[in-house]
Structure 1
Amino acid sequence: MQKIIPCLWFDGNGEEAVNFYTAIFPKSRLTDTLLWGDVNPAKKGKLLTATFELDGQSFMVLNGGPEYKITPAISLIVTCETQEEVDYYWDKLLEGGGQPVQCGWLTDRFGVSWQVTPMPLIRMFQDKDAAKAARAMAAMMKMIKLDIATVKKAFDGE
């Protein structure tokens, strides 16, 4: 069992979020649910928590109510090796009302912030040639959805 499990607070739509996320990521599944009981008669029988896996990583949703909101101060990073992966996750996570932000960040329809991160860009940013790395970073900073080929051209000085 995973020692640390991120918990995402929702206001009644946690089950919808779990269904949305598990439909996007491979090797994903619902692993456990807990329903409200007699302690809250108005919500009795409705989802209180759900534990689920996205590509093997465990998460929990809590239908805690309107007291707290998800903010971009915490984001989930999706690492990608290819532009096809970037395009897939970007498009899927935006479905149903998500909003693109900047530099590979987006907010999904539930308010959760995601970073769709092409690992080839990270490797360019870490290159020992500071000028090449700086050109790559400058190109990326102008983007909303990240484009590996465009950043690679800047990296190569084209």
Structure 2
Amino acid sequence: MPKNTICVWYDKDAEAAAHFYAKTFPDSSVGAVHYAPADYPAGKKGDALVVPFTVAGIPCIGLNGGPGPKHSEAFSFQIATEDQEETDRYWNAIVGNGGKESECGWCKDKWGINWQITPRVLTDALAAGGDEGRRAFEAMMTMRKIDVAAIEKARRG
């Protein structure tokens, strides 16, 4: 196990979420599932308790902790995309699998985990700053899923 791992709380579906992420994102996998050795407040002996997984190269642990803390945008996975096709693929996978659209490239998967599907053209424009960054930012503020062509047009003015 890596020295630093992100622990993500799930009600009871950490294993299903981990398999979805592994199927959806490159450089993702699911490790050996650890089962509860005894009954616990949110489950029974033998239930999946801890699920190690990697999502886009980031080591994580899914914890089936039962109903409890709710996820917020204070934590999200940010996936950098190269073009509209890749942006659409990830966005549609998350939203089309019971998730929800949000604003400015954000969406939430069916387990309540927040994702930012962010084309590099947008981050490049923001890094450029000045009028180019402002125009790209203003265009982004009107979007749900990021429209790469609209960001490129805004960058050019």
Whether TM exceeds 0.5 here: the answer is: yes
For residue 146 of structure 1, report the CA deviation from its aligned partner: 0.3
Match of 1:54?
A: 55
- Structure 2: any 5+ residue segments left out of the alignment? none
Aligned-partner SS, 2:33? strand
For residue 29 of structure 1, report the CA deviation from its aligned partner: 1.6
Inter-partner Cα distance in structure 2 for 1:71 and 1:35:
27
Aligned-partner SS, 2:38? coil
Match of 2:24?
A: 24
For residue 13 of structure 1, report the CA deviation from its aligned partner: 1.4
Q: Is the 8 A contact 1:8 1:70 kept in 2?
A: no
Q: Is the 8 A contact 1:34 1:48 kept in 2?
A: yes
Q: Which amino acid aligns with 1:23?
A: K
Match of 2:111?
A: 110
For residue 66 of structure 1, report the CA deviation from its aligned partner: 1.1
Task: Give the structure-2-normalised TM-score.
Answer: 0.92
Match of 2:140?
A: 140
Match of 1:13?
A: 13
Q: Is the 8 A contact 2:24 2:93 kept in 1?
A: yes
Match of 2:89?
A: 88
Query: Per-residue displacement from partner, 1:84-105 (whole Å, max 9, x unpaired)?
Result: 1111110011122211000000
Q: Is the 8 A contact 2:19 2:29 kept in 1?
A: no
Q: Which amino acid aligns with 2:87?
A: V
Query: Per-residue displacement from partner, 1:47-93 (whole Å, max 9, x unpaired)?
Result: 00010112322111000111222222211100111111111110011
Q: Which amino acid aligns with 1:52?
A: F
For residue 28 of structure 1, report the CA deviation from its aligned partner: 2.0
For residue 39 of structure 1, report the CA deviation from its aligned partner: 5.0
Match of 1:123?
A: 124
Q: Is the 8 A contact 2:102 2:108 kept in 1?
A: yes
Inter-partner Cα distance in structure 2 for 1:81 and 1:59:
24
Inter-partner Cα distance in structure 2 for 1:4 and 1:40:
26
Matched residue count: 156
Aligned-partner SS, 2:128? coil
Task: Give the structure-1-normalised TM-score.
Answer: 0.91
Q: Which amino acid aligns with 1:60?
A: I
RMSD: 1.7
Percentage of matched positions with identical amino acids: 37
